[in-house]
Amino acid sequence: MGSEMRFLIIGLGSMGKRRVRNLRALGQAEIAGFDLRADRRNEVIAKYGIPVYEHLEAALVGHNPDALIISTGPRHHMDYAWDACDRGLSCFIEASVVEPDRILALYNRIRGSRIIMAPSCTMRYSEGPRNIKKLIAAGVIGKPLNLNYLTGQYLPDWHPWEHVGDFYVSNRDTGGCREIVPFELTWLNNVFGDPEPMACVKTKLTDMDADIDDIYHCLLRYPGGMLANITIEVISRPKATRELRVLGSLGELVFSADENCVRYIRVGDADWTRVVFSGGTVETGYINPEEPYIAEMADFVTALEKHDPSVFPNSLKDDWQVLQNLYRLEQLSEHIS
């Protein structure tokens, strides 16, 4: 198929525009967009010159896509994915945080079919998590015993060009902090296994204009007994935070976004061994580099070309399982007023 494949991007906000760039970076030229908002459609025409549509049916007929890229807010993911399934269309779906029952039902619906549903797992393609997985699997620090992880970015800085109340991160069920819990667990669970949630404290600490919890403190126990103290927040300013430390039976491993490296030290070592990353290509107005997003889109395109869902490393069943972790943590949570 190659460049003959046709893609329709559903939702032309910041992620939808990123996906236009991702597909173009992969040599895909047959790209169209759909969004209900005229300002977003006009911006995409001006920036990328692709065809855009105001109505979904017109987009499906006019562009005749082979696959959809669903880049709307999470609340609409399954509506579009189920509609695509009924039409026999494969989809790439951005990270989800709601409707786990519909996610699992869709997984069961497409099993054994040629339809591919690829839920985003961008962090698995990022250099930090990729190196952590490799080093943990190689046993460089022995048996992992304890993990501390703090990650976050001030929510109004996500989209500085618009008020937080104007997009989904300000809604309680799709709130920015709540959404990032499964986003991070998707890669952590890929490294350490499916955890048992033990405790959670969540609350709102800032005065930002959004009725959401802006911090989650989560305690989980992973297979093998490792305890993980994971703090997800949307408070860190002026810079985003991503700091992880794993204590093992034979050493320690540290991942720091500020240092842009993973480093580890083993019993008997005189000093840390450092794995330093490149900064990647950061688009104007964005914070995270393009390369991990391009890499996951490349796997989706390859899965489509080979008609093989196993090419893509994440599944709807995996997404459902991670959301079970989130909901169990929330059941255990103590809410501080």
Q: What is the CATH number of the domain that holds 268?
A: 3.30.360.10
Beta-sheet strand order (sheet of 241-248): 273-276, 261-266, 251-256, 241-248, 144-152, 227-233, 215-221, 196-203, 333-335
Residue 167 and residue 30 share a domain? no
> pLDDT class for 1, splitting at 50, 70, 90?
very low
Residue 237 and residue 128 share a domain? yes
The enclosing H or E element of 248 equals strand 241-248
Of 186, 258, 197, 255, residue with least CA distance to 229: 197
The enclosing H or E element of 276 equals strand 273-276
**Contact present, 131 and 275 (Cβ < 8 Å):** yes
Stretch 62-79: mean pLDDT: 97
Give bridge partners of residue 252 from the DSSP assignment: 247, 265
Stretch 129-154: mean pLDDT: 97
Residue 103 and residue 163 share a domain? no
SS3 72: coil
Q: Which domain holds residue 209?
A: 124-289+323-335
> pLDDT class for 331, splitting at 50, 70, 90?
very high
Q: Is 317 a domain residue?
A: no
Q: Which amino acid is at 153?
A: Q
Q: Is 236 a domain residue?
A: yes
Residue 238 and residue 169 share a domain? yes
Stretch 269-288: mean pLDDT: 87
What share of the chain in percent tops pLDDT 90? Answer: 87
Over the stretch 86-137, which tens digit does the pLDDT of each residue have?
999 999 999 999 999 999 999 999 999 999 999 999 999 999 999 999 999 9
Q: Check residue 160 and give its pLDDT.
A: 85
Residue 188 and residue 242 share a domain? yes
Over the stretch 207-257, which tens digit does the pLDDT of each residue have?
999 999 999 999 999 999 999 999 999 999 999 999 999 999 999 999 999
Residue 47 and residue 192 share a domain? no
What residue has token string 């964005």? 286
Q: Are strands 144-152 and 67-70 parallel, antiparallel or unpaired?
A: unpaired
Q: What is the CATH number of the domain that holds 92?
A: 3.40.50.720
Stretch 195-213: mean pLDDT: 95
Q: How far apart are CA 227 and CA 219, in angstroms?
A: 7
Mean pLDDT of the chain: 94
Residue 195 and residue 79 share a domain? no
> pLDDT class for 163, splitting at 50, 70, 90?
confident
Residue 261 and residue 133 share a domain? yes
Phi, psi (5° rounding) for residue 22? -60, -50
Q: Which amino acid is at 175?
A: G
